[in-house]
Amino acid sequence: MKINKVVLIRHGQSEWNELNRFTGWHDAELSHKGKDEAKSAARLLKKEKFFFDYAYTSVLKRAIHTLQHVIDELNQSWLSIKKSWRLNERHYGALEGLNKNEVIEKYGEEKVMLWRRSFNITPPQISMKDKRFPGYDMRYSHLNTNEIPLGESLETTAIRVIPYWNKIIYPQLKKNKKILIVAHGNSLRALIQYLHKIENDKIVELNIPTATPIIVDFDEQNNPVKWYYLK
């Protein structure tokens, strides 16, 4: 049986990951560790002789730079790359920039875990006057105001991720193209939940590590059959 494989990678550790901050749509740089993680992920793919026809990523530099490290290591810098805000991390609303431990002290670990991992619970939202509102960033100037989030749950993140998969990425898979997606913990959680029909109350258990390649196998009819980490 012929198996098609899609590779998913969460970006390497960012400077805000290192500081234990909620990052969301903030455009944090990769940390030194994050760059090393990206290169290690690429070496794993190189060892297994992966090559790609298309790569997809968000418009946030920690994902873009992770992808650059990967394709440099694979000697595929010429690869066709598409970037979309629809693959961005979920927007953490009023939590963005705050230290996670301090938020836990204020609200309690149970509530914060629901904000971080549950399917449909949204963290406190920001206002459009908040400097963290993405509408002030020129990379989102083409969007309608109602498309720009003030804070997202996994459910609302999925509402933008899944159509992008179905309309842009999946048609290439059906043409037997080899695909690499470098994105974020929650945009990838949303995609994995959709592909593998994970129940809403089970998705809370899925925490995707940084820069660890995830292989999604598809059968001859392009149905997802399993996913696993490449280690």
pLDDT at 2: 72
Please report, as a single letter, which amino acid is at residue 202: K
On whether residue 202 sits in a domain, the answer given is yes
Three-state SS at 82: strand
Angle of CA points 99, 103, 104, to nearest 5°: 120
d(CA 205, CA 199): 11
Task: Tell me the pLDDT tens digit for each residue of 162-191.
Answer: 999 999 999 999 999 999 999 999 999 999
Burial class (CB in 10 A: 0-12, 13-18, 19+), 89: buried
Task: Tell me the pLDDT tens digit for each residue of 111-142.
Answer: 998 898 889 999 999 999 999 999 999 999 99
Is residue 192 a contact partner of residue 217, using CB atoms and an 8 Å limit? Answer: no
On whether residue 97 sits in a domain, the answer given is no
Is residue 195 a contact partner of residue 74, using CB atoms and an 8 Å limit? Answer: no
231 pLDDT more than 90? no
pLDDT at 86: 98
Instruction: For residue 86, say whether it is annotated as part of any ligand binding site.
Output: no
Length of the chain: 231
User: Model pTM?
Assistant: 0.96
Domain harbouring 29, CATH code: 3.40.50.1240
Bridge partner residues of 152 (DSSP): none
Determine the average pLDDT of the residues in 79-88.
Answer: 97
d(CA 139, CA 28): 15
Read off φ and ψ for residue 87, nearest 5 degrees.
-95, 5
Instruction: For residue 92, say whether it is annotated as part of any ligand binding site.
Output: yes
**Structural domain containing residue 41:** 4-91+154-229
pLDDT at 114: 87
d(CA 18, CA 3): 37
**Domain total of the chain:** 1
Task: Tell me the pLDDT tens digit for each residue of 191-214.
Answer: 999 999 999 989 888 999 999 999
Using the structure block, give the residue that is written with the tokens 């908040």: 130
Catalytic residues: 11, 89
End-to-end CA distance of the chain: 24
On whether residue 114 sits in a domain, the answer given is no
On whether residue 102 sits in a domain, the answer given is no
Angle of CA points 122, 126, 129, to nearest 5°: 160
Instruction: For residue 16, say whether it is annotated as part of any ligand binding site.
Output: yes
Please report, as a single letter, which amino acid is at residue 12: G
On whether residue 100 sits in a domain, the answer given is no
Instruction: For residue 100, say whether it is annotated as part of any ligand binding site.
Output: yes
Using the structure block, give the residue that is written with the tokens 């794993």: 44
Instruction: For residue 14, say whether it is annotated as part of any ligand binding site.
Output: yes
In the predicted model, what is the mean pLDDT of the chain? Answer: 96
pLDDT at 32: 97
For residue 148, the 8-state DSSP code is S
Q: What band does 25 get if pLDDT is binned at 50, 70 and 90? A: very high
On whether residue 217 sits in a domain, the answer given is yes
On whether residue 43 sits in a domain, the answer given is yes
Determine the average pLDDT of the residues in 16-21.
Answer: 95
Please report, as a single letter, which amino acid is at residue 213: P
Determine the average pLDDT of the residues in 75-89.
Answer: 97
155 pLDDT more than 80? yes
pLDDT at 116: 86
Is residue 203 a contact partner of residue 117, using CB atoms and an 8 Å limit? Answer: yes
pLDDT at 1: 66
On whether residue 145 sits in a domain, the answer given is no
Q: What band does 66 get if pLDDT is binned at 50, 70 and 90? A: very high
